C-alpha cells in the first residue's frame, strides 16, 4: 500500500471507528460486535505503525494512554468554573424561585438535570479538535489531565463542526466499572475505593494515562462555557447543540415552567436514583434563558441563576448481626453494630457506631434486628431505628459488660458521662490507640506509621509507649512482614523529622484528656517549653483565655504522674523538641488585619491551603476559628462542596467568602 492509498484508508477507518464509538459509548446502541471493532482498530494500528506520519492527534488509536507524566501542569480557566449554592428542602427551592421571580417577573423557566457524582472537568476544542482537558481545581485554575481524558471513549477527539469553544462536564465511573475495579483490587489484596466518585477522581489524577484507560470511565457534558460561536440563547438549546456536536449528555433532563414542576421532578428522582447505572447526589436546577442568567449574575462563589438540590441521606434496611466492642485511647468502650453488608450512598457499609449503652436502650436495638441505616452527612454510617414488626422472637438483648474486653479490668461510668470507661493505664487497647493518636497527622505526623504498622509493632513487642518509637532500629523493622529496605528507610526518616516538630504537636500527641489541637497550641504559645507547662498550677492555667477548670485539672493531673515525667525525660533524651517554635500570639487589638477579633468558620474543601493551614494563618492574624456557625460568627470561608454550614450562614446573612477571596486577603 502506497502513502496515498494509506491516507485514504486511514480516513475511512477513522470514520468507521468514530461511528462505532459514538453508537456504543454515547447512544448505547452498538451496531457491530466487539470483534469487528477490534479488527478495524488493529487494521488502523498496523497502517499507523507503517506510516507514523499518518497518526493524527484525533486518531482513535490515541485513546489507549501514552507515556507517564512527571506532574500535572496548571491550567487557567478562560471562564471560571463556579460551584453551586445548595438547597436541602422544598423551602430552599421556593426561596431560590422567589429570588429569580423578583428579577424576571413571570417570564422564565428552568432546566432540571441529574447531579452526577463525579469530577467536574473542562474540555477545550480548537477548530473542532480536542486540545486540552482540565480539572475544576479552585474554579479559576485546574490541572491539565488531557491524556487521561482522551481515554474516555465518549469524549469525541473531533466534533462535527470546526468550532473553537470550551465545554463543561462531569466525568464519572459507572457502577459496573467500579464493582469490577474493586473486585480486582480485593483479589490483589489492595485497599478498595470507598465509592465511584473517589475512584473516578483517583483515576483521572493518575500520572500514567494507561491506568485511567483501564478504568472504563464515562462522562456527561452539561454546558457550553462560552456560547459565542454556537448561537445558542438558552441552556436547553445548548444541551441540544452538544448532542449535535457528538457529545454525550444526560437524557433525563427536563424543562420545567414552574417551581412546582421542579419539585415534582426532584421528588421523583429521590425514589428512582438507586435504579441508575451511575451515582447521583442531587438535582441541578438552572434558569433556562442565558439572557436572564446574565441579568441575575453571580456571587463571588456561585451563580444566582442555578442551585443544587442535595438529596436527603439515603436510608436502607439491613440486619444487625452482632455488636462488637472497642476500647479507645481514653478508655471509653464503644459498641459497634456489625451489619449484613449493604450499599448506602455509594459505598458498602458493614459497621456502624452505636456510641453507648444508653443509645442502644433508647432505640431498643437487639442483636438480630432488621434496622434502618443511613450515612450522617453522606459520610458516617448510623443506625436510625429498628423495624420491630420484623422481629421473630429470636433476637437477643445486648448488655454492656462489667469488665474491659481487652484487659479484664472493671469498667466505670464517671460522673456526668454516659460512656463506660476502662481506667487501667496499662490496658493494651488504650496504649495501642494512644500510639496511633501520637503519630497521626494533627499530632506528630509520622508518615508511614499508620494504624496497621503501629498494631504490628505493638504486637511484636517493639513499642510499648511513644518513646519507644524513637528507639526503633533498622534491623528490627526489616524483620517485619511487608517492610522492605525502602519503606524502612522512609519510616526512619519520618520518625527523625518528627523530632523537630513544635511543642503543640507533641502536647496534642500525648493525648492529655480534654486537650485538643487548639488547646495544645494555646498552651504551647503561653508556656513556650514543656518544663514550664509541667510546673504550671491550676490558677496559672485557668488564667489563660479558653482554658477552663476541667482542662486545667486534666493538665495538672497528667504531669503529676510519675510515668508522665519519666516519658517526657525519655522523649528529651531521644532528641524530641519540647519547645514552641511558632509565632507568639498577638492580641487582636494590636493586629492590623481584617480577621483581628473576628470569629471565622471554615467549611468545605480548602484546595490550595488545606483547612489546617488556613486556620493557622487566620489565627496568626488575630481571628478565632470555630467549628460551628452561629449568630456570633462574623465570616464563613466556603470551600468546594460546602454543605449545611454554608446554608446556615446564608440563612443568618453572615458574610461568606470563597477560597480565592481568602487568599487575596491573606496575601495583602
Residues classed as catalytic: 115
Report the 10 Å Cβ neighbour count for 378: 19
Short-list 337, 327, 492, 495, CA closest to 420: 327
3-class SS at 37?
Answer: helix
For residues 547-558, b (16+ Cβ closer than 10 Å) or e, as one string?
A: beeebbebbeeb
Reported as half-sphere exposure (CB side, CA atoms, 13 A), residue 357 has a value of 16
Under a CB-based contact definition with an 8 Å cutoff, are residues 120 and 30 in contact? no
The backbone torsions φ and ψ at residue 307, rounded to the nearest 5 degrees and listed phi first, read -150, 150
Under a CB-based contact definition with an 8 Å cutoff, are residues 640 and 83 in contact? yes
Angle, helices 34-50/3-21, rounded to nearest 10 degrees: 150
How far is 110 from 112, CA to CA, in rounded Å? 6
- Structure-block grid coordinates of residue 595: 480577621
Strand order in the sheet with 599-603: 624-626, 599-603, 635-638, 655-657
> Is the C-alpha dihedral spanning 99, 105, 106, 112 positive or negative?
negative
Report the 10 Å Cβ neighbour count for 343: 14
Under a CB-based contact definition with an 8 Å cutoff, are residues 240 and 223 in contact? no
- Structure-block grid coordinates of residue 279: 451515582
Under a CB-based contact definition with an 8 Å cutoff, are residues 203 and 136 in contact? no
How far is 454 from 432, CA to CA, in rounded Å? 7
Report the 10 Å Cβ neighbour count for 99: 13
Report the 10 Å Cβ neighbour count for 44: 21
Amino acid at each position: 500500500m502506497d502513502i496515498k492509498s494509506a491516507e485514504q484508508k486511514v480516513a475511512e477507518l477513522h470514520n468507521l471507528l468514530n461511528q462505532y464509538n459514538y453508537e456504543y459509548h454515547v447512544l448505547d446502541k452498538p451496531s457491530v460486535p466487539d470483534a469487528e471493532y477490534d479488527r478495524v482498530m488493529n487494521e488502523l494500528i498496523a497502517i499507523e505503525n507503517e506510516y507514523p506520519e499518518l497518526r493524527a492527534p484525533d486518531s482513535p488509536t490515541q485513546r489507549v494512554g501514552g507515556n507517564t507524566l512527571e506532574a500535572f501542569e496548571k491550567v487557567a480557566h478562560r471562564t471560571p468554573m463556579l460551584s453551586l449554592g445548595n438547597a436541602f428542602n422544598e423551602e430552599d427551592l421556593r426561596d431560590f424561585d422567589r429570588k429569580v421571580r423578583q428579577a424576571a417577573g413571570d417570564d422564565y423557566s428552568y432546566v432540571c438535570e441529574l447531579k452526577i457524582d463525579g469530577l467536574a472537568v473542562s474540555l477545550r476544542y480548537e477548530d473542532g479538535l480536542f486540545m486540552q482537558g482540565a480539572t475544576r481545581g479552585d474554579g479559576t485554575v485546574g490541572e491539565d489531565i488531557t491524556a487521561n481524558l482522551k481515554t474516555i471513549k465518549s469524549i469525541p477527539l473531533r466534533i462535527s463542526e470546526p468550532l473553537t469553544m470550551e465545554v463543561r462536564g462531569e466525568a464519572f465511573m459507572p457502577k459496573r466499572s467500579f464493582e469490577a475495579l474493586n473486585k480486582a483490587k480485593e483479589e490483589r489484596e489492595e485497599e478498595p475505593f470507598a465509592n465511584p466518585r473517589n475512584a473516578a477522581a483517583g483515576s483521572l489524577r493518575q500520572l500514567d494515562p494507561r491506568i485511567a484507560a483501564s478504568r472504563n470511565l464515562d462522562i456527561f457534558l452539561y454546558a457550553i462555557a462560552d456560547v459565542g460561536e454556537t448561537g445558542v440563547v438558552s441552556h436547553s438549546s445548548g444541551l441540544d447543540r452538544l448532542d449535535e456536536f457528538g457529545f454525550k449528555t444526560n437524557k433525563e433532563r427536563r424543562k420545567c415552567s414552574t417551581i412546582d414542576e421542579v419539585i415534582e421532578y426532584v421528588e421523583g428522582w429521590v425514589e428512582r436514583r438507586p435504579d441508575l447505572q451511575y451515582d447521583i447526589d442531587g438535582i441541578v436546577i438552572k434558569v433556562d434563558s442565558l439572557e436572564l442568567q446574565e441579568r441575575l449574575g453571580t456571587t463571588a462563589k456561585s451563580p444566582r441563576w442555578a442551585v443544587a438540590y442535595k438529596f436527603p441521606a439515603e436510608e436502607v434496611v439491613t440486619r444487625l448481626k452482632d455488636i462488637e466492642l472497642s476500647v479507645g485511647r481514653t478508655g471509653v468502650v464503644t459498641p459497634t453494630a456489625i451489619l449484613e453488608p449493604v450499599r448506602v450512598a455509594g459505598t458498602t457499609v458493614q459497621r456502624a457506631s452505636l456510641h453507648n449503652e444508653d443509645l442502644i436502650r433508647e432505640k431498643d436495638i437487639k442483636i438480630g434486628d432488621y434496622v434502618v441505616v443511613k450515612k450522617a452527612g453522606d459520610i458516617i454510617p448510623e443506625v436510625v431505628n429498628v423495624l420491630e414488626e420484623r422481629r421473630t422472637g429470636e433476637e437477643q438483648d445486648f448488655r454492656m459488660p462489667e469488665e474491659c474486653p481487652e484487659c479484664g479490668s472493671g469498667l466505670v461510668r464517671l460522673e456526668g458521662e454516659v460512656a463506660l470507661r476502662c481506667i487501667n493505664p496499662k490496658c493494651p487497647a488504650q496504649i495501642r490507640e494512644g500510639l496511633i493518636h501520637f503519630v497521626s497527622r494533627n499530632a506528630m505526623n509520622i508518615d508511614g506509621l499508620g494504624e496497621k504498622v503501629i498494631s504490628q509493632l505493638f504486637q511484636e513487642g517493639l513499642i510499648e509507649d511513644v518513646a519507644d518509637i524513637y528507639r526503633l532500629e533498622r534491623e528490627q523493622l526489616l524483620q517485619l512482614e511487608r517492610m522492605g529496605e525502602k519503606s524502612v528507610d522512609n519510616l526512619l526518616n519520618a520518625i527523625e523529622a518528627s523530632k523537630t516538630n513544635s511543642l503543640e504537636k507533641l502536647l496534642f500527641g500525648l493525648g492529655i484528656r480534654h486537650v485538643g489541637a487548639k488547646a495544645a497550641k494555646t498552651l504551647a504559645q503561653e508556656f513556650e517549653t514543656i518544663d514550664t507547662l509541667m510546673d504550671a498550677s491550676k490558677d496559672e492555667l485557668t488564667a489563660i483565655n479558653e482554658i477552663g477548670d476541667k482542662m486545667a485539672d486534666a493538665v495538672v493531673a497528667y504531669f503529676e504522674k510519675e510515668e508522665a515525667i519519666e516519658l517526657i525525660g525519655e522523649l528529651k533524651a531521644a532528641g524530641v523538641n519540647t519547645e514552641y517554635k511558632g509565632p507568639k500570639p498577638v492580641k487582636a487589638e494590636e493586629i492590623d488585619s481584617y480577621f483581628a477579633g473576628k470569629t471565622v468558620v471554615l467549611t468545605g474543601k480548602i484546595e490550595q491551603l488545606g483547612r489546617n493551614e488556613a486556620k493557622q494563618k487566620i489565627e496568626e492574624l488575630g481571628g478565632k476559628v470555630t467549628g460551628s456557625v452561629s449568630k456570633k460568627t462574623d465570616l464563613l470561608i466556603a470551600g468546594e462542596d460546602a454543605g449545611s454550614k454554608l446554608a446556615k450562614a446564608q440563612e443568618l446573612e453572615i458574610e461568606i467568602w470563597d477560597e480565592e477571596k481568602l487568599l487575596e486577603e491573606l496575601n495583602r
